[in-house]
Amino acid sequence: MLRLLEIEYNKLRYSRSARILIITYFILITFIALIASIEFNIGQIQFRVADQGIFNFPYIWHFNSYIAALLKIFLAIVIVSMMSNEYSNRTIKQNLIDGLSKKEFILSKFLTVLVFSGISTIFLFIVTLILGYSFSDFTEISIVFSDLEYILAYFIKLTGFFAFCMFLGILIKRSAFALGFLVVWAIFESILYGVLNFKVFKGTDIATNIMQFFPLEAMSNLVVEPFSRLNAVQAAANQIGGELDKDYGIHWYQLLIVIAWVFIFVYLSLFLLKKRDL
């Protein structure tokens, strides 16, 4: 297992573009702190984002895991290209001839996916902790470490997304087209959702119930947007008479759906590799 990770580490560390993307990704996560300094001056009203309570524990776990997850596209590029480059350099063939089994090949890639998600999660945990302690109004231990399930959901979400990218890299063999396919798939899911929700099953929950099993929808359901949870937004909604009633929680079955997708993607990748001639 360590050997497989070492192999992948060796492949990635000398690739300049992969190095730049990975470093950019982690720097951008730390830049979440910069949101704190956003200020608007609308006439007499001064609006500071930091004062809106976004860095309060435990809300910050939710907020940061949502924002940080937006940046996952940087690592997605790294993962897609680390798969498809093996095809375009034809090194996958040489790897197999040199004595890596097909199972080991997929395993080494999946372990890399896990490591990327794991390091992102630990990194996010530390950044959030520091940010929280600097800005939060509450710093009691019991409050600080509540709602930690968002961190778990973040890890599962990233693993699911990266496993999807890994599969696309193998399926399509060209990084640009694989990323393009990812976008097309995202559009497909939202169109399908629209059609089901507003046409086929109008006025019922059926569309949502079906769509939660689709990979990207399942991943985005894990950490839903945190903005409407802010006091300011809630207050504004109340003023115009609307009521925001949204489920922000994380449910076990949502985690399970994404974990199931992870297995499906890994096994489909292995299946493709076994079936294809190189």
Residues near 154 by Cβ (< 8 Å), separated by ≥ 6? 65, 68, 69, 120, 121, 124, 222, 223
- How far apart, in Å, are the Cα atoms of 170 and each of 6, 14, 37, 89? 21, 22, 42, 13
CB atoms within 10 A of CB 125: 17
Structure tokens at 156: 């599962």
Q: How far is the CB of 93 from another protein (least distance, A)?
A: 5
Q: How far is the CB of 275 from another protein (least distance, A)?
A: 7
Task: Return the closest-CA partner of residue 53 out of 238, 222, 229.
Answer: 229
Q: How far is the CB of 153 from another protein (least distance, A)?
A: 35
**Residue placing its CB nearer to another protein in the complex, 24 or 101:** 101
Q: How far is the CB of 169 from another protein (least distance, A)?
A: 16
User: Which of 98, 205, 243, 247 contacts another protein by CB under 8 A?
Assistant: 98
State the sign of the Cα–Cα–Cα–Cα dihedral 124, 127, 130, 133: negative
Q: How many residues bind another protein (CB under 8 A)?
A: 24
User: Which of 16, 41, 142, 241 contacts another protein by CB under 8 A?
Assistant: 16
Check binding of 278 to another protein (CB under 8 A). Answer: yes
User: Which of 1, 10, 199, 205 contacts another protein by CB under 8 A?
Assistant: 10
CB atoms within 10 A of CB 164: 24
**Residue placing its CB nearer to another protein in the complex, 14 or 40:** 14
Q: How far is the CB of 103 from another protein (least distance, A)?
A: 9
Residues near 64 by Cβ (< 8 Å), separated by ≥ 6? 32, 124, 127, 128, 131
User: Which of 36, 50, 73, 100 contacts another protein by CB under 8 A?
Assistant: 100
List residues near another protein by CB under 8 A.
3, 6-7, 10-11, 14-16, 89-91, 93-101, 274-275, 277-278
